[in-house]
Amino acid sequence: MSILTTSLLVLLVGLAVAGARMYRLLGPWVRPRAPLVPLRTPWAANLDVEAPLPGYPRPQLCRDRWLNLNGRWQFALAPQDAGRPASFEEEIIVPFPVESALSGVQRPVSPGERAWYRRTFESPAKPGERLLLHFGAVDYEACVWVNGNSIGRHQGGFTPFSFDVTEALVDAGPQELVVAVSDPTDTGGQARGKQTLEPKAIWYTAVTGIWQTVWLEPVSACRVERVWTTTDLDASAVTLAAELAGVEPGDSLAVEIRADGNPVASAILEVDAAQVAHTFPLAGLRRWSPDDPFLYDVRLSVRRGEVEVDRSASYFGAREISTARDADGHWRMVLNGEPLFHLGLLDQGWWPDGLYTAPTDEALVFDIEATRRMGFNTIRKHVKVEPARWYWHADRLGVLVWQDMPTSGRGAMHSMVKEIWWTARKTPHEERGYDLTRTPEEARGFRAELGAMIDSLESFASIVVWVPFNEAWGQFDTDVVLAEVASRDPSRLVDGPSGWLDTGSGQLRDHHVYFGISRMPQLEPDRPMVYGEFGGLAHEVQGHLGVERGFGYQVFAEREAMEKAYTSLVGKIRQLAQRGLAGAIYTQTTDVEGEINGLLTYDRVVFKIAPERLRELHRPLIEGPGREEAPR
C-alpha cells in the first residue's frame, strides 16, 4: 500500500470518526421528528371531567368562599383577525391546553388562530361584595369579557392574574364569561419555555390557552392581596409583609402565628398604606429544611373599627439561604447556617396526557415524592412555572427548588450548535459571538413576566434560587437583569446564568456538562460552582415511550448498563464535591416526548433505576464534605 493510499485511508477513518462523534452530538437536532405515541399517566383514569383539579388554587392566601370554574366549557377556533364566533361548536375541558389529550380537543393551534372559550356561572358574591375572576395561567394573551363587557387583557403565559368583574354582573340569572386566547409560540419573542410548533429532541409540543385553574372569589373591597415573609435566624424572628387593597385611615390588620395549632405570636397592625410589615420574634424558631419541612400557620383579619371585613389564612417556612466558605476554603451554598450539597433533578413538568397540566393533584405530588424517594434534595424547575399548589407540596414535603424564568428560546437551536462547535475548538466564551440583544418590546415583556413570577412565588420557602437565564436563550442585559432580581428578592440566591455564557454576575457559577464530567472547572474566588445540568443518560422502556424512537445524550440498550454508567457519574460528582463542587442537577426527572433520558418513564410508571439504589448512591453526597464545619 502506497504512502498516499495509507494517508488517504487514515484521513477517511478520521473523518468517519469525527462525523460519528458530531452525529452523536448533533443527531437529535438534525433528525426528523419522531411521531408522538398516545400515552397516558395512571391518574388520567381518575380525572373527573366535570370538576378537574378541584383543590384550592392559592394555598398561600386562603379564603373560605370561592367557586372553581374548571370543567366543561364551550370552545371554538377562529382566524386571528375575526371577532367572536357566531357559535361555539366544540367542547373543551378546562384547564387542559388545547393541544392536550385531556382537553378533549387535542389539535394544534396556529399563530393565525385564536382559541375562544365560553361558559356561564352563577355569581357567589353577596350584596356589597366584590367578585374577582382569577386565572392561574393562560398561554399567551388572554382577552376577557363578562356579559359582553370587556373586562381586561393579560399577556404572559406563566403567571397568575385576576380581574374585578363586579361592575359587569347582571342582577339575576346566569353570567356569561368569554375568553379569547392568542399564542404565537415560537414565531414570537415572548417567554415560551420548551414549546415549539415543530417539536423534536428537547423541544416539545406547543401549549395554547387556559392551562391552570380558573376560579371566582367574593371579597370585601378592603382586603389582603398578597402576603410573604423573610427570616432573620440571628434574631430568631420573622418579618411578615402584606399588600392590601381598599384600605382607609383607621383600618387594622390582626395577625396570629401558630405552630402545631398553638398560638406563638400575634399583633394588631395599624394600616395606613397599601403595604404593611411587622417583625415577630419567635422563641425556639423552628427552621424549615428538607430534613424538617416545618410550616407555621398564619391567620389574617382586616378590621374596620370593630367589624371584620376580611379573613384569610396563610403559612410560611422559616429559613435562610446564603453562601459561605467551608473549612477547606471552598464556597458552598448554606441553608440555615449549614452547608448543604444541592443534588437535584432537572424537572420539565410535562405530561403525556395534559402537557403543561398535570391530570390531578395526586400527579403533582407524585413527581416531588418520587424525587425525594430517589434521594435527591433539590428540583430545578426548568423553564416552566408550576401552579401554586406544586410549590405548596414542595414546601410541605421538603425539597429545595431552583426556579427558572421561562425563556423565549430565541436563537436557542443555533446557539446549541455553535456551543458544541466552540467547545470542541476551545474558543473562549467572550469570543463566541452570541447575540445578546432583544427588541425593546421583548425586553419589557421579559422583565414584566419575570417580576410577576417573583411576586407570585416569593412566599414559598422551598424556592432558594432564581434562574433568570438558561444557556444564552434570549439572554440580554445579563448583569443588569441579575442585579434587578437580587435587589427585588435578597432572601434568595441568583444563578448567574445557568449554562454557557457567564459574565461574572450572580451568586453561583453554573456549568452544563454532558461529556467530560471528570474535568474539574477552575473554582471561582467568590462564588460557589455548580453543575446546573449534567448526565442525560438514556434508556428506552418499551411500552412507555412518548415517541416511536427517542434520543438522549448517551443511549443504553440495557437498563443495567445505564445504572452502571449512572453509578460512575455519581462517583465522579462525589470526587468533584470533595474538590469544591457545591451542587449538581441531573438531567432529568422523566422522559419527555422525544427525550428518553429520564429516571422515570414519561407516563411515570417505571423507575429505570430502583429508587432505593439511587438513594443509597446519593446519601454520601447530601451528607457531603464540609457540612459539619460550616459557620453557624
Question: pLDDT tens digits for 529-570?
Answer: 999 999 999 999 999 998 887 888 899 999 999 999 999 999
Structural domain 321-629, CATH architecture: Alpha-Beta Barrel (3.20)
Q: What are phi and psi of 429, to 5 degrees?
A: -60, -35
Mean per-residue pLDDT over the chain, rounded: 90
pLDDT tens digit sequence for 129-147: 999 999 999 999 999 999 9
State phi, psi for 331 to the nearest 5 degrees: -75, 135
Q: What is the mean pLDDT of residues 252-280?
A: 96
Lowest mean pLDDT of 505-519, 564-578, 615-629, name the range: 615-629
pLDDT tens for 77-89 read 999 999 999 999 9
pLDDT at res. 609: 98
pLDDT at 168: 98
CA angle, residues 567, 572, 575, in degrees to nearest 5: 130
Q: Given this model, what pLDDT does residue 628 score?
A: 41
595, with CB counted inside 10 A (0-12, 13-18, 19+), is buried
pLDDT at residue 34 tops 80: no
Residue 435's pLDDT is 61
The 8-class DSSP code of residue 351 comes to B
In order, the DSSP letters of 461-516 are TTEEEEE--BTTTT--SHHHHHHHHHHH-TTSEEEEEESS---S-SSEEEEEESS-
- Residue 408 is predicted with a pLDDT of 80
Assign domain 223-316 one CATH number from 2.40.50.1020, 1.10.10.10, 2.60.40.10, 3.40.309.10.
Answer: 2.60.40.10
Q: Give 293's pLDDT tier (boundaries 50, 70, 90).
A: very high
At residue 113, does pLDDT exceed 80?
A: yes
Domain segments of the chain: what residues?
Answer: 42-219, 223-316, 321-629
pLDDT confidence tier of residue 632, bands split at 50, 70 and 90: very low
Confidence of residue 457 (pLDDT cuts 50, 70, 90): very high
| Predicted pLDDT of residue 147 | 98
- Looking at residue 179, what is its pLDDT? 98
* Whether pLDDT at 625 is above 80: no
Rounded average pLDDT over 415-431: 56
Q: Which of the four CATH numbers 3.40.50.300, 3.90.1420.10, 3.30.450.20, 2.60.120.260 does domain 42-219 have? A: 2.60.120.260
Note the pLDDT of residue 427: 61
- In sequence order, what E strands does 317-459 have? 321-325, 331-335, 338-339, 342-347, 378-381, 400-404
Question: Given a cut of 60, is residue 20 above it in pLDDT?
Answer: no
Indicate if the pLDDT at residue 347 is higher than 50: yes
What share of the chain has pLDDT > 70, as a percent? 89
| pLDDT of 426 above 80 | no
